[in-house]
Structure 1
Amino acid sequence: MIFNKEGSLIVISQEKISIELFLENLVKEYAKLKNDNLVLDLLGFSKLTPYNVISFLEIAKMHKKNGKSFILVSDKVTYDDVPDEISIVPTLQEARDIVEMEEIERDLEL
């Protein structure tokens, strides 16, 4: 896994493994990551499906319950394809923008 810390968030990406192994590795490393906003860069997965994205649902709900952002980035699957509890956007910049907006909302207790 590749971790890139950018201020209040960590962008996580992976090269040349399956989405299932990516999720498995994320779960193993989660204890170290639970206090940061997370952006998962899934752009490198050429055969990503809504089913693959839904596999992140439990960890997404847990992370958001902890008061942190959890955003997936993919241009293969859209927010219309997945449950509302999963935040998915097509670009890394949009993910950064959402994290920033969610941070402001949490600061304002909205």
Structure 2
Amino acid sequence: MKVDQKGHTITIKNTEGDFTAFLMKITHQYKTFEGHNLIIDLLPHTNVDLKQIVLFTPLSKQHKKAKKSFVITANNIDFNAVPSKLTVVPSLLEAHDIIEMEEIERDLGF
């Protein structure tokens, strides 16, 4: 697992390849990330499917309750089929843009 921090945002990449172990590691180490916006970068893994991405829903809900952004980057999935509780985008640039917009919304009180 590779963790990069830029400002209020942490990007987490799976470097081991085992999706289940990656999800468990993030879940167990959540307390260290909870004060930051999170980007879960799944772009290197072209075999990730929507069923696996949906497993992040509990973490996403918990993170958004804490008034922080939770964005997943992935490709080769049907973005229209993603549940509305998750934010999934096809690039890191879009993930950062989403976080920036959500930060502005929170600052304005939305």
Instruction: Provide the TM-score with structure 2 as the length reference.
Output: 0.95
Q: State the 4+ residue runs in structure 1 displaced beyond 3 angstroms.
A: none
**Structure 2: tracts of 5 or more residues without a match:** none
* Residue aligned with 1:83, SS: coil
**Structure 1: tracts of 5 or more residues without a match:** none
Match of 2:11 in 1: 11
Q: What is the identity percentage for the equivalent residue pairs of Structure 1 and Structure 2? A: 35
Task: Report the Cα distance in structure 2 between the residues aligned to 1:77 and 1:64, rounded to whole angstroms.
Answer: 23
| Contact preservation (8 Å) 1:71, 1:89 | yes
Deviation of residue 3 (structure 1)?
0.7
Match of 2:71 in 1: 71
Whether 1:102 and 2:96 are equivalent positions in the alignment is no
Task: Report the Cα distance in structure 2 between the residues aligned to 1:98 and 1:56, rounded to whole angstroms.
Answer: 18
| Contact preservation (8 Å) 2:71, 2:95 | yes
* Residue aligned with 1:47, SS: coil
Task: Report the Cα distance in structure 1 between the residues aligned to 2:81 and 2:109, rounded to whole angstroms.
Answer: 29
Q: State the superposition RMSD in angstroms.
A: 0.9
Match of 1:23 in 2: 23
Deviation of residue 28 (structure 1)?
1.1
* Residue aligned with 1:10, SS: strand
AA at the equivalent of 1:71 = V
Residues 32-54 of structure 1 show CA distances to partners (whole Å, capped at 9, x for unaligned) of: 10010000100111211110000
| Contact preservation (8 Å) 2:41, 2:73 | yes
Residues 9-63 of structure 1 show CA distances to partners (whole Å, capped at 9, x for unaligned) of: 0010021322111110100110110010000100111211110000000110110
Query: Against the structure 1 CA distance between its residues 78 and 8, is the aligned structure 2 distance closer, same or farther, given a 3 Å change threshold?
Result: farther
AA at the equivalent of 1:50 = L
Task: Report the Cα distance in structure 1 between the residues aligned to 2:8 and 2:17, rounded to whole angstroms.
Answer: 27
- Which residues of 2 match residues 31-50 of structure 1 at below 5 A? 31-50=31-50
| Contact preservation (8 Å) 2:46, 2:75 | no
